[in-house]
């Protein structure tokens, strides 16, 4: 037992339950230990490189470079990796945990920066106590940024998702460039399309809008072109066609 919590049972404003498997102190500690070892190795390597430099111990410039390097390794390491690796650091990847938004959406750079600002406090026992006491296993940085840390489980082979024939949707899909869609975003879209028939029509429409609106804005598409669910279907079709082009049948 590592002290991790059970699924969060978050509920969106549309009354849709989102079961996020929250990471607790145990798995987060594993990630922190791995990251700490990597940070330590980087600091040692930086010190050795500096000591071998002909300018070691001479000049204010070397001191400035050393301070900047130390700050980046100690305080910038987590934020840089979490921003570039969609909520993961090397340690989090080893521990199979990831930072996401409180509703399960991909973490943003703004959230990453806020978490980093609070890291100095969260490195103290206060951070551990906060994780234990909060319902969603959040440290102060998570509370301020609106994030949670989840455990990633081995994903079973997804059930086949069949879409009804729709020539308009398929034609629209050919105009979409879905190459910028992350694996997590694709998974959210596919999961919604897989389970939408089990939702109330109003809840399905609201959740489709919540998913489609930011994706439309990022792809530069107008809201009135197709409906939200048709847009999400078109994204799925575009990804499938792109994958088929990259991997044609033998």
- The pLDDT tens digits for 19-41 are 567 887 888 889 999 999 999 99
Nearest CA to 230 out of 171, 148, 144, 149 is that of 171
Can you give the pTM of this predicted structure? 0.55
- Coil vs helix vs strand at 174: coil
Structural domain boundaries in the chain: 10-151, 167-240
- The pLDDT tens digits for 92-147 are 999 999 999 887 788 999 999 999 999 888 888 888 888 888 888 889 999 999 99
Q: Are 77 and 34 in contact (CB under 8 A)?
A: no
């Amino acid at each position: 037992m590592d002290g991790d919590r059970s699924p969060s049972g978050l509920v969106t404003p549309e009354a849709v339950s989102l079961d996020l498997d929250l990471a607790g102190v145990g798995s987060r500690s594993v990630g922190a230990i791995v990251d700490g070892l990597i940070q330590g190795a980087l600091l040692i390597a930086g010190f050795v490189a500096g000591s071998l430099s002909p300018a070691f111990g001479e000049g204010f410039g070397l001191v400035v470079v050393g301070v900047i390097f130390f700050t980046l390794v100690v305080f910038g390491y987590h934020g840089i990796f979490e921003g570039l690796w969609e909520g993961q650091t090397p340690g989090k990847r080893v521990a199979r945990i990831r930072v996401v938004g409180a509703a399960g959406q991909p973490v943003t750079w703004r959230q990453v920066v806020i978490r980093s600002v609070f890291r100095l406090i969260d490195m103290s026992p206060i951070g551990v106590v906060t994780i234990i006491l909060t319902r969603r296993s959040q440290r102060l940085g998570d509370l301020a940024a609106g994030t949670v840390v989840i455990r990633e489980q081995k994903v079973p082979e997804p059930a086949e998702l069949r879409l009804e024939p729709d020539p308009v949707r398929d034609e629209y899909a050919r105009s979409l460039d879905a190459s910028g869609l992350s694996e997590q975003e694709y998974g959210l879209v596919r999961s919604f399309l897989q389970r939408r028939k089990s939702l109330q029509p109003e809840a399905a429409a609201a959740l489709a809008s919540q998913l489609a609106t930011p994706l439309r804005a990022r792809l530069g598409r107008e809201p009135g072109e197709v409906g939200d669910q048709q847009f999400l279907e078109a994204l799925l079709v575009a990804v499938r066609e792109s994958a088929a082009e990259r991997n044609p049948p033998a």
